[in-house]
A and B are shown apart, each in its own frame.
Chain A
Amino acid sequence: KNEVEQSPQNLTAQEGEFITINCSYSVGISALHWLQQHPGGGIVSLFMLSSGKKKHGRLIATINIQEKHSSLHITASHPRDSAVYICAVMGGAQKLVFGQGTRLTINP
């Protein structure tokens, strides 16, 4: 079993829909990251959080440390949100452990 599991692996939705991507982890962590990767490979950091909730524009990230679970939400989704979203946790040894990613496609 991977230390970081994301669901779903693939998600297709219509423009305007509310999107939720889930991340569960099995190790103790100090921080959790949500990352966005567009075709071509470049990775952009969206959020880094260790408790509670963060919001940036239409994106919201939440984490429940007791449940070892985090969610990324996108409100009013748009085709430009289409990308791979990756959850990564910072555990011991100062290294990031990544989930396998969720491929999101938003159709106009």
Chain B
Amino acid sequence: ETGVTQSPTHLIKTRGQQVTLRCSSQSGHNTVSWYQQALGQGPQFIFQYYREEENGRGNFPPRFSGLQFPNYSSELNVNALELDDSALYLCASSLPPSSYNEQFFGPGTRLTVL
């Protein structure tokens, strides 16, 4: 059983650019959630994908968008990057959305926007 993986591990971009982050879910999991963690803060929920559809969204602008593929891997896209987008981006996979399904986290992608 493989765990949750994310790529790339580190990324440096400049303001205005676009970025795509990737997440492969744990075997058997069809739900992926994305979180943004600013330095010294707890993670903030961006959105969740279940069976290729968005299934809930946090307080993030539309320039944060996502996709989930038939194999349940997922992408997070951020357009028009701003300095405040610098953060650790975490994805977590789980079984179908439920209060009692544990989420398994990937190692994160650290994004720096200059």
Residue numbers of A with Cβ under 8 A of B are: 4, 30-31, 33, 35, 40-45, 48, 50, 86, 88, 90, 93-101
Contact = CB atoms under 8 A, between A and B. Distances in A.
A45 B94 CA distance: 12
B33 A44 contact: no
A41 B36 CA distance: 12
Contact of A95 (B56, B88, B106, B110): B56
A30 B98 CA distance: 9
A97 B45 contact: yes
Interface of B: 33, 35, 37, 40-45, 48, 55-56, 58, 88, 90, 92, 97-100, 102-108, 110
Contacts of B102: 33, 45, 48
B42 A86 contact: yes
A16 B64 CA distance: 45
A7 B74 CA distance: 34
Contact of A43 (B40, B41, B48, B105): B105
Contact of B43 (A44, A93, A94, A98): A98
A41 B99 contact: no
Given A31-B99, A45-B102, A99 B42 contact: yes
B42 A98 contact: yes
Nearest to B105: A43
A12 B87 CA distance: 26
B107 A94 contact: no
B99 to A, nearest CB: 3
A88 B41 CA distance: 13
B37 to A, nearest CB: 8
B31 to A, nearest CB: 9
A30 B100 contact: yes
Nearest to A40: B107
Contacts of B105: 35, 42-45
Nearest to B58: A95
B108 A41 contact: yes
B103 to A, nearest CB: 7
